[in-house]
Structure 1
Amino acid sequence: MSDTAIVQTKSLTKTYGDKNRVNRVDLHVEEGEIYGFLGPNGAGKTTTLKMLLGLIKPSEGSIKIFGESLSKSRPSILMRTGSLIESPSYYGHLTGLENMRVMQRLRNVPDRNVDEALRIVRLENHKNKKAEQYSLGMKQRLGIAMALLAFPKLLILDEPTNGLDPAGIGEIRELIKSLPARYGMTILLSSHLLTEIEQIATSVGIISDGNLMFQGKLDSLRAKGRSSIYLKTGDNLTAHRLLLAQGYSPAKGDNQLDFDYLEDDDVAEINRLLVTYGIPVTRIGEKSKNLEDIFLELTGKERSL
C-alpha cells in the first residue's frame, strides 16, 4: 500500500449470502483530492463508505486511512474524519443549534466551530428552528454541518446534494470545492449524478455491481472519450457500400454515417473519395463523449440511474 494515500483499500470485499456487494475494490485517495465515487444506485457505494468508517465489517480485504490500519486504529482515525452517510441523523425536537451542541460535546470542539459550520451551510438564520420543521434540503445541510464540525482532515459524504434545490446544489458544490485549499481537507464523496462529479471532482472511481471499473484523474477519464465523426451525404447507402469496400467501417446512423474515431488525414481522404465517385458530402461533424457516455460504456447501465 502507498504511504502517501489518505484512503487506501486492498481487495475490499463485502459479501451478503452468495452475492458480493463490493468485490475486491482497491481505492486510492491522495491528500487534498476531491475523489468522486460514482455509480448507479445499488452499485456498492454506500456499503464501501460504511466499511471505511467501520460501520460494516469487510468480508475480505484491508483498509488504511492516514496510513493506519482501520482495524487497529479506528478511534484515532475517526477523530480526524467527518462523515455523512445516507440520511442525516438528528433529534427532531431539538433546534438546529441544539443538535450542533450535542455533536460539539461528542467531538469536543470550540463554539466557533459551531458558528462557522452553520455559516458555511447557510443555516445560521435557521439555527433556532426545530430540526423536525426543516425541509429535506435543510436537514441535509444540517448533516453536512455536523460532518464539518471538527473541520476534519478527511470528509466522507454520501450523496451530499440529496434533497437540495438547484441553487442549494450549486452552493454545496462550491463549498466542497473550496474545502481542500481552505481547510486542508481531503474529500471522498459518492454520487449517482454524473454531472455533479464532472464539475467537482479531481479524481474519480466508477463502481458498478460492486466492481471498480475505473479509477484515476478526471482528465484521464475524459481522455477515454475520443471524439467520433459523423458524415452526411447525398446518398448514404452508396457511400456506405463504397467506404466498406475501401476498408473503412462506418455505421449507419439516423440519416448519417458514424465512425468511432478518425484521424484528420482519414477524414480528408474519405471526403476526397466520396467526391471523386460523385457522392456529394453535405456535412462532416464531430461528436465528443462526455462523462456520462464514458460511464455508460464502462458499466453498460441504462441512462436512468
Structure 2
Amino acid sequence: MNTIVSTYNLSKYFNGICRVNEVNLTVYEGDIYGFLGPNGAGKSTTLKMLLGLIKPTKGNMVIFSKNFNKNRQLILSQTGSLIESPSYYEHLTGLENMRILQRLRNVSNKKVQEALHIVRLEKQQNKLVKHYSLGMKQRLGIAMALINFPKLLILDEPTNGLDPNGIREIRELIKSLPQRYGITVLISTHLLSEIEQIATSVGIINDGNLLFQGSMEQLKAKNKAYISIKTQDNNLAKKILLTEGYKFKQNNDRLIFEDLTDSHIAYLNKLFIGQSIDVIRIEEHRKSLEDIFLELTGKERSL
C-alpha cells in the first residue's frame, strides 16, 4: 500500500508545555483514518501541523512521499481540509461561496457542481448561507474542501454540533469518498461510535501521545473473550482447578479464564458437578471498543 501521510517524532510545545509528543502517524492510500482521542488530546494540533497552520517544535512530515517543508505548496494543492468549523460568507449563497474558492483554486465549473452534488447541496446552492441549517453549513464546508478533488482530505471533528440525522449524512458521505473518488480521509473525533462505523484504520492519542495505531481489525483483536464461572464453593473449585492444571484468576466471587474452548467449559462444568460443587453461572465476556479505549486513555468517552 502507498503511504499518503507519514510523521516522524512530530512534536509541538506551547510555552514549554508538550501538546504533541513524538507522534508517528502512518496513513495509507484509500484509508479512512480515524484519529481518536478525548478533547484536548492533541488531535487538532497534529492536524494543523499537517496543514502548515502550526509549525512543529520538532519532527518531520512526509506527505505524498514528499518532505513537507520542501514541497509545502505542491502538497497543500492536493489537500483539502475542514478544521474546527467551516469558513464562509453568510450573506452569500452556497454557490457564491464556492465560486470564491473556485477562483483561488483555479478549478472548473464542473468540479464546483460535482462537489455540491457529493454533499447533496445542489438544490440549495442558490440559498443564502445564513439560512442554512447547521448540517447544511457543515456540508458546505466539506464541499469547499472537496472543490479541487484532493488526494487527501483532513476533517477535524466534522460532526460537531450536528443532530443524529446530520451525523448520519456526514458519515455516509465520508464513507463514499475513497472508493468513488480515490480520496484518502484523515478524520479526527472524540466520538468512538463514529470511528467504529466509518474508519478502516485508527490512531488513538491522549495527552499528546499516540497510544495505538493500526487497522480497525487490529483494534478489535484486543477484544479477547474470557469466561467467568461462579460456583457454590469457589475455594474447593480452585483446588480442583489447580490439580487439573488450569490457569485462572479470581475476581470477587468469579473465577476468570482466558482462551477456554467450548469443550473445556463443558468438561469443567461436569468436573464441578461430579465433585458436588453447584455451578451457579457460566458467562462469556468481551471487552467493547469503548472498554479498550478507556483502558488506553483512562478517560471517559464523550457521549
Same fold (TM over 0.5): yes
Aligned-residue CA RMSD (Å): 1.9
Alignment partners' CA distance in 1, 2:93 and 2:43: 31
173-182 or 224-233: bigger deviation: 224-233
Q: How many pairs are equivalent?
A: 296
- Aligned with 2:196 (options 177, 195, 198): 198
Alignment partners' CA distance in 2, 1:259 and 1:55: 50
Deviation at residue 44 of structure 1 after TM alignment: 0.4
Deviations 1:241-289 (A, max 9, x none): 334444431212xxx6262623225534542343233232243221222
Equivalent AA in structure 1 for residue 236 of structure 2: L
The residue number in structure 1 matching 2:11 is 13
Alignment partners' CA distance in 1, 2:215 and 2:230: 36
258-267 or 136-145: bigger deviation: 258-267
The residue number in structure 2 matching 1:39 is 37
- Aligned with 2:216 (options 211, 215, 218): 218
Deviations 1:200-223 (A, max 9, x none): 111111101100001111101111
Alignment partners' CA distance in 1, 2:258 and 2:98: 54
- Aligned with 1:263 (options 252, 260, 263): 260
After superposition, where does 1:42-191 map in structure 2 within 5 Å?
A: 42-191=40-189
Structure 1 pair 111/13, CA: closer, same or farther in 2 (3 Å)? same
Q: Is the 8 A contact 1:95 1:131 kept in 2?
A: yes
Equivalent AA in structure 1 for residue 258 of structure 2: Y
The residue number in structure 2 matching 1:242 is 236
The residue number in structure 1 matching 2:21 is 23
Q: Is the 8 A contact 1:37 1:190 kept in 2?
A: yes
Q: Secondary structure at the match of 2:249?
A: coil
Alignment partners' CA distance in 2, 1:142 and 1:169: 14
Alignment partners' CA distance in 2, 1:258 and 1:100: 62
Q: Is the 8 A contact 1:22 1:210 kept in 2?
A: yes
Q: Secondary structure at the match of 1:190?
A: strand
53-62 or 137-146: bigger deviation: 137-146
Structure 1 pair 271/51, CA: closer, same or farther in 2 (3 Å)? same
Q: Secondary structure at the match of 1:303?
A: coil
The residue number in structure 1 matching 2:288 is 290
TM-score, normalised to structure 2, is 0.92
Equivalent AA in structure 1 for residue 64 of structure 2: F
Structure 1 pair 28/260, CA: closer, same or farther in 2 (3 Å)? farther
TM-score, normalised to structure 1, is 0.91
295-304 or 196-205: bigger deviation: 295-304
Alignment partners' CA distance in 1, 2:301 and 2:4: 32
Q: Is the 8 A contact 1:14 1:59 kept in 2?
A: yes
Equivalent AA in structure 2 for residue 251 of structure 1: N
Q: Is the 8 A contact 1:244 1:250 kept in 2?
A: no
User: Percent of pairs identical after alignment?
Assistant: 62
Deviation at residue 232 of structure 1 after TM alignment: 4.1
Structure 1 pair 258/180, CA: closer, same or farther in 2 (3 Å)? farther
Alignment partners' CA distance in 1, 2:225 and 2:15: 43
Equivalent AA in structure 2 for residue 261 of structure 1: E
Q: Secondary structure at the match of 1:89?
A: coil
Q: Is the 8 A contact 1:38 1:190 kept in 2?
A: yes
Deviation at residue 180 of structure 1 after TM alignment: 1.1
Alignment partners' CA distance in 1, 2:55 and 2:71: 14
Structure 1 pair 244/21, CA: closer, same or farther in 2 (3 Å)? farther
Q: Is the 8 A contact 2:30 2:182 kept in 1?
A: yes
Alignment partners' CA distance in 1, 2:47 and 2:255: 41
Structure 1 pair 48/258, CA: closer, same or farther in 2 (3 Å)? farther
Q: Is the 8 A contact 2:82 2:145 kept in 1?
A: yes
Q: Is the 8 A contact 1:227 1:260 kept in 2?
A: no
Structure 1 pair 90/260, CA: closer, same or farther in 2 (3 Å)? farther
